């Protein structure tokens, strides 16, 4: 006999849907969509306030904190050993920021290598030409030799170079340092026995004993190098100070250091004033006003060690690259008889 299993009848329970729950679900999606659109719109509207380059930190310096248009203070501080460091990072930041309408070049440097000074001058001049923005120079404690060289990237404009009352500037000239210790080594029976492809390959060697004829030939060749770099320096000065004729440039291009007052009388600077005065001039040249200009300044990002130490860090550091410069026959636009072994951060 077949007995069919009986299952309990299926019971269907119908519940009336709450219309408010559907409305709240839809409202949630609507709010989320509005939030996304607002975020995207805000990012576009306020993109000019966002950091662009991780190598620099932009900070408000003065005037209006909320103004869209900027005046950027670009700092050239310490010995100039190359054009790819922090100065380059600042210039890259300015180039990518369309909100920057003027540059204040803050120079507090005794100069540096010929190539490093020339590269910074070139990049700054190219940037200013490309963006068609004014550049005003503010000299700090010292803006000499290569420091004055980079200040000439001002497109030859009038009334754009400011020196503080205590500024030292000038030192227009070139130096290739050389030290001869061959006689001292001879006393200790030490002889430089380097093997070179030719005698001139060892020019400016500090330890090589030379014949008088070879020493004279080397000196003549090095002097020609110095003279050629010096001619370029004077050409840069003429381009940056077009009111100075050839004779006027020759009178100041003696390697002499000038005080701010002497530099003003010689036509090397336009005014005696502080950073704030240079900023006011930059605002004026950009066609802005104090209410419509935000002055920003750049600094290096802090590392973990800086945070642990509360931001305290040494003001200078021994630079191995700078030590290597002592052994290199390199020209310097430097207000010193010895290349800097310690450079500012």
Active site residues: 145, 201
What is the rounded radius of gyration, in angstroms, for the C-alpha atoms of the chain?
32
d(CA 343, CA 322): 8
DSSP secondary structure letter of residue 160? -
Q: Which helix (H) or strand (E) holds 285?
A: helix 275-285
Residues 6+ apart with CB under 8 A from 192: 182, 185, 205, 207, 208, 209
Q: Report, in this order, helix, strand and coil percent for the chain, each rounded to 5.
A: 40, 20, 40
SS3 12: coil
Place of tokens 């910074």: 120
Judge contact between 149 and 118, C-beta under 8 A: yes
SS3 287: coil
Please return the burial class of 142, using the count of CB atoms within 10 Å of its CB with bins 0-12, 13-18 and 19+. Answer: buried
d(CA 266, CA 63): 33
B/e letters for 224-234, b = 16+ CB within 10 Å, e = fewer, are: eebeebbeebb
Question: CA neighbours within 13 Å on the CB side: how many for 142?
Answer: 17
């Amino acid at each position: 006999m077949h007995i069919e299993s009986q299952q309990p009848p299926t019971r269907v329970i119908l519940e009336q849907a709450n219309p408010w729950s559907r409305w709240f679900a839809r409202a949630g999606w609507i709010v989320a969509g509005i939030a996304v659109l607002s975020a995207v719109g805000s990012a576009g509207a306020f993109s000019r306030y966002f950091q662009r380059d991780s190598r620099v930190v932009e900070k408000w310096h003065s005037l209006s904190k909320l103004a869209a248009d900027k005046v950027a203070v670009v700092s050239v501080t310490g010995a100039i050993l190359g054009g790819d460091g922090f100065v380059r990072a600042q210039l890259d930041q300015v180039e990518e920021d369309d909100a920057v309408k003027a540059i204040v070049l803050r120079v507090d440097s005794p100069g540096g290598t010929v190539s490093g000074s020339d590269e910074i001058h070139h990049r700054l001049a190219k940037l200013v030409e490309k963006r068609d923005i004014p550049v005003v120079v503010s000299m700090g404690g010292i803006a000499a030799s290569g420091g004055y060289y980079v200040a000439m990237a001002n497109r030859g404009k009038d009334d754009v170079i400011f020196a503080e009352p205590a500024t030292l500037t000038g030192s227009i000239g070139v130096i290739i340092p050389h030290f001869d210790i061959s006689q001292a080594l001879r006393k200790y029976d030490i002889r430089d026995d380097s093997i070179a492809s030719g005698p001139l390959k060892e020019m400016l060697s500090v330890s090589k004993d030379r014949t008088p004829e070879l020493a004279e030939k080397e000196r003549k060749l090095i002097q020609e190098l110095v003279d050629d770099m010096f001619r370029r320096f004077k050409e840069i000065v003429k381009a940056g100070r077009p009111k100075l004729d050839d004779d006027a440039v020759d009178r100041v291009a003696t390697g002499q250091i000038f005080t701010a007052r002497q530099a003003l009388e010689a036509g090397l600077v336009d005014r005696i004033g502080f950073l704030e005065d240079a900023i006011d001039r930059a605002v004026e040249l950009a066609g802005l006003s104090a209410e419509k200009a935000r002055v920003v300044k750049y600094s290096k990002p802090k590392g973990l060690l800086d945070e642990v130490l509360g931001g305290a860090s040494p003001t200078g550091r021994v630079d191995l690259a700078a030590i290597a410069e002592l052994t290199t026959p390199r020209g310097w636009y430097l207000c010193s008889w010895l290349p800097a072994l310690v450079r500012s951060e």
